[in-house]
A and B are shown apart, each in its own frame.
Chain A
Amino acid sequence: MTLDAWVPLLVLCSSLVPGLLIFGLDESRVRLRTTLNLAGALTKLALVGVMLWGVAHGHTYEVRIAFLPGLDLALRAGPLALLFLVLSSLLWLVTTIYAIGYLEGSPHRSRFFGFFSLCVTATVGVAMAADMLTFLLFYEMLTLATYPLVVHRGTEVARRAGQVYLAYTIGGGALMLLGIVWLYTLTGTLEFTPRGFVSELDPSHHPALILIFIFLITGLGVKAALIPLHAWLPMAMVAPAPVSALLHAVAVVKAGAFGIVRVVYEVFGVEFSALLGVTLPLAILAAATIIYGSLRAIFQDDLKRRLAFSTVSQVSYIVLGVAIASPIATVGGLVHLVHQGLMKITLFFCAGNLAETLGIHKVSEMNGVGRRMPWTMVAFTVAAFGMIGAPPVAGFITKWYLGLGALDAGQHWVLVVLAASSLLNAAYFLPILHAAWFREPPATWPEEREFGRRETARALLWPPLITALAAVLAGLFAAMPFSPLEWARFIAEQEFTRP
């Protein structure tokens, strides 16, 4: 194997090995555990940085292991994989720091961080999978690695939430498996190929292909929380805040959305999907999810549930961008993979801070909280405006490209959806901001903890500030090289619009 082949494996191992080691650690070895976590996260980030530079200069990083007859397990880091890799490795580092602060003194941290690392391993595996089989392997591993995090608290509510989570994800995974084996018996390959590998099949197979598309999208739609497959997501909110952050911004939901990107572009090919007539229903489903998620979010008083429904809505922007089937909308969808991650993780960090510091879990308890925790709420405000789509925060870029793409593809109804969604986003975020900044704080907070002169612990405060700043920078410097937007354009050129 060449040196380049080792890099993807090392990227996997940089979280797998610390994860396995951490399982074996005694609960009291805090320093060693923290060192392992941070060393793993930094190593991964460095390796991904190397690959980012390499891919931009025309390298490919690929490794294969013989598996079933005619099928390999293969990892390849192309431009699309790197988009997801950079996001997940960056946010893993930030979330790890946050989780260390958040879980300080709570029980079973070795188990928590062990599964946390496995989760990230599965996510980078999903990002780098070079074929549908490898993808499935890591996709299911992600399901299994997140389950213990969802039931981490060990309460009856957590157990039920875990059951619901599994019912959805295992059911979806089973459909996906069926679709993948079927696809394999038709094509004899499962290798992700730019512009797809099924268009050569005889037209008599087209009904079968439509069914396979439905199976695959259903399996992926569960994790991407497309309606009506989204119900597990708000329930999974019983998990600790760093888990919610990871689930919503990096790992589970994104793996589903990323899988949809792969299936539409690199299994079916977007033009061929449009020919089959499956992109429009997908776009309509995404649009319905966007509106439905926002509508439900308005009526949630529980802050984390409100954010969860907001995720349901926001992730479908990615799917929408994919399904509009225009190069410009593609850029909008892909870039939202990163943008939504940055903004949503900020919001969850802030929600976690409110809960940990003041015991605030409900929107109705947030009156005047901006005075008590100004920095947290600044981060929250920035991310919320990003979600609404106000410039210069990153969310604006997404909506701009989605809108342009819709016009380009002649699908004007999408503009109505985007406008309605922005209004609804405003309807559920602005009241929070108004209450936090302009209402009088109550005499006592539900459950206040003192942190001296600081508003909260340092490890809890820095992560949301960093991610909020990143969300602003991604919007401000969208035209700079290596910005998410430029990289999304690079992907669109490299993989999709090339003749």
Chain B
Amino acid sequence: MDTAVWLQSGLTAPILLPLTGALLAFVMRRRATPIGLLSVVALLGAVILQVPSLFADGPQRLAIGGWGAPLGVDLYADGLSVAMLLMTAVVGLGISLYAAAYFRDTPARGQAFWPLWLLLLTALNALFLSADIFNLYVTLEILGLSAVALTAIAGGADALVGAMRYLLVSLLGSLAYLLGVALLYHAYGTVDIALLAERIAAEPATWAAMGLMSAGLMLKTALFPLHFWLPPAHASAAAPVSAALSALVVKGSFYLLVRLWIELFGEIAGGVATLLGLLGAAAVLWGSIQALIQTRLKLLIAYSTVAQIGYLFLAFPLAVGTGATAWSGALYLALSHALAKTAMFLVAGNLLRFGGHDRIADLDRVVQRLPLSMAAFALAGVSIMGLPPSGGFIGKWLLLEAALTEGRWGWAIVIILGGVLAATYVFKVVGYAFTQSENPHQAQPVPATMEWVAFALAVAAVLMGLIVSQPLIVLEIGNPFGIQAEVAVQ
């Protein structure tokens, strides 16, 4: 009994901690910052505590209140969920520390930020832990709404227009997903993923559900050509919000799509996997080229996200036949992208604060004036372009291995080309950071915390390329990618 209670609290903590924090921060506005920081630190601790029990007991399922599926609400945690939780907690802590310094001069915005941000973390964590597709819809909706509200915090026309478009897209995406849920529930009488996996069959209702749910999630993940809403929203938000959107929020819907794919749709999808891959490839190339021609840093970083999301979708066709290698590659890429992209957006925030603009050609010797921020940008860039040692390299290596083992040259070339393009746009920024600008500007001081947080996250992205075996082991606990491999064997 004792262990059961402990387990229960262990698995629900990642949801309850930020939720409590959100409520408290909303009620006690003056104390929002310390409450927020405390919740996030506690969250990280709670997630880290999950790892040993995961190693010892394998994946865990928890029926909240004792009502199991198909009636009750189930939580489920395997290596993949815990890896995503860890990513969220680490990046979340970084963003929170940054935000505490960022909003110091604008306390009103800070007070609006904390409850929404903690709510966003709650929704994300619940998404990573939910085991039924209706609950997942609820988390998706909360995630979307809190993200939209956070975007609007920045104020100004750009941010409001971006947020509005984001809101419409987010609602549309959730709606499509919900329709799919309804279809599946109608056809199979359950919303529990595990039960659905046993019952699901290749028939029109399933295909329609797959189409709707995938389309909704693709829209929310901003897969090319449904990415149009991302750059304006991500680029106009406040720096910590941009980071959260690019690093975490899009990963939520991607994670969900991967789960559904592996558990439900993968076997009946047929050519859809290739379609997803092709869109991913187009995203890699289109996003990178768009990033390359941007003149503003935040837009460049946002388009880089479009490209990096494309990489994640390459796993769908590659997983046919190579299973775990392709999925681990994509998820490793997702994890390290979260760290690196956060670092990049935070650096962009620093440069904006420092020079009052983010025009790339006028960066004006920031390499000497904000060396730590530029180092963070460059290190994060190493991971984004996938050079060793970095988490991005490991992800790309695994994807390449999956592609070449099966002799799929087209995918391999896209993977390589995307890396080269990424290097081009990253070094475009780094190059201008060395030169003197024709329009010198008044420099504003940047708080040290804001620089160090970005740097630490970038270093973490690089370290993920040196400490590799442990994260890979965690990812595969509970064999989240195993189903595909078994099918291939059969």
* A227 touches B (CB below 8 Å): no
- Contacts A151-B434, A159-B434, A181-B397 given; does A166 touch B412 at CB 8 Å: no
Residues of chain B lying within 8 A (CB to CB) of residue A155: 435
CA distance A108 to B417 in the complex (A): 35
Query: How many Cβ-Cβ contacts under 8 Å join chain A to chain B?
Result: 86
Taking a contact as CB atoms closer than 8 A, the residue among B385, B389, B405, B416 that contacts A185 in the complex is B405
* B168 touches A (CB below 8 Å): no
List 17 additional contacts besides A143-B387, A154-B434, A182-B404; criterion CB under 8 Å. Answer: A67-B469, A68-B397, A68-B469, A111-B368, A137-B389, A140-B387, A140-B388, A148-B367, A154-B435, A155-B435, A159-B432, A159-B434, A162-B431, A174-B417, A177-B416, A178-B412, A185-B401
Residues 354-401 (chain B) with a chain A CB within 8 angstroms: 365, 367-368, 371, 375, 378, 382, 385, 387-389, 394, 397-398, 400-401
Taking a contact as CB atoms closer than 8 A, the residue among B388, B427, B469 that contacts A163 in the complex is B427
Nearest first, the 6 A-B pairs at minimum CB distance are A137-B388, A181-B400, A170-B423, A154-B434, A185-B404, A140-B387
Q: Across the two chains, which residue of chain A brings its CB closest to B328?
A: A69
CA distance A457 to B132 in the complex (A): 76
Interface residues of A, CB < 8 Å — how many? Answer: 37
* A450 touches B (CB below 8 Å): no
Residues 12-40 (chain B) with a chain A CB within 8 angstroms: none
CA distance A148 to B433 in the complex (A): 11
Size band of the interface chain B makes with A: 35 or more
CA distance A73 to B436 in the complex (A): 40
Residues 155-171 (chain A) with a chain B CB within 8 angstroms: 155-156, 158-159, 162-163, 166-167, 170-171
Can you identify 16 A-B contacts, CB atoms within 8 angstroms? A23-B371, A68-B394, A68-B398, A68-B472, A108-B368, A144-B378, A144-B382, A144-B387, A147-B430, A154-B365, A154-B436, A158-B435, A162-B431, A170-B424, A181-B397, A185-B401
CA distance A73 to B419 in the complex (A): 22
CA distance A22 to B20 in the complex (A): 45
Taking a contact as CB atoms closer than 8 A, the residue among A73, A137, A174 that contacts B416 in the complex is A174
Residues 26-82 (chain A) with a chain B CB within 8 angstroms: 66-69, 73
- A interface, by DSSP: helix, strand, loop or mixed? helix
> B437-481 CB contact bits vs A (8 Å, 1 = yes)?
000000000000000000000000000001011001000000000
Taking the closest CB of chain A, its distance from the CB of B182, in whole angstroms, is: 41
* B420 touches A (CB below 8 Å): yes
CA distance A111 to B468 in the complex (A): 30
Residue numbers of B with Cβ under 8 A of A are 365, 367-368, 371, 375, 378, 382, 385, 387-389, 394, 397-398, 400-401, 404-405, 412, 416-417, 419-420, 423-424, 427, 430-432, 434-436, 466, 468-469, 472
By the criterion CB–CB under 8 Å, are A181 and B387 in contact? no
Residue numbers of A with Cβ under 8 A of B are 23, 66-69, 73, 108, 111, 136-137, 140-141, 143-144, 147-148, 151, 154-156, 158-159, 162-163, 166-167, 170-171, 173-175, 177-178, 181-182, 184-185
Residues of chain B lying within 8 A (CB to CB) of residue A158: 434-435
Taking the closest CB of chain B, its distance from the CB of A432, in whole angstroms, is: 33
CA distance A95 to B435 in the complex (A): 26
Residue of A136, A182, A184 most packed against chain B (CB within 10 A): A182
Residues of chain A lying within 8 A (CB to CB) of residue B385: 170
Residues of chain B lying within 8 A (CB to CB) of residue A67: 468-469
Q: Across the two chains, which residue of chain A brings its CB closest to B403?
A: A181
Residues of chain A lying within 8 A (CB to CB) of residue B416: 174-175, 177-178
CA distance A144 to B385 in the complex (A): 12
Q: Across the two chains, which residue of chain B brings its CB closest to A67?
A: B468
Q: Across the two chains, which residue of chain A brings its CB closest to B431?
A: A159
Taking a contact as CB atoms closer than 8 A, the residue among A23, A73, A154, A173 that contacts B387 in the complex is A173
CA distance A258 to B432 in the complex (A): 33
CA distance A154 to B431 in the complex (A): 9
- Contacts A141-B388, A166-B423 given; does A111 touch B435 at CB 8 Å: no
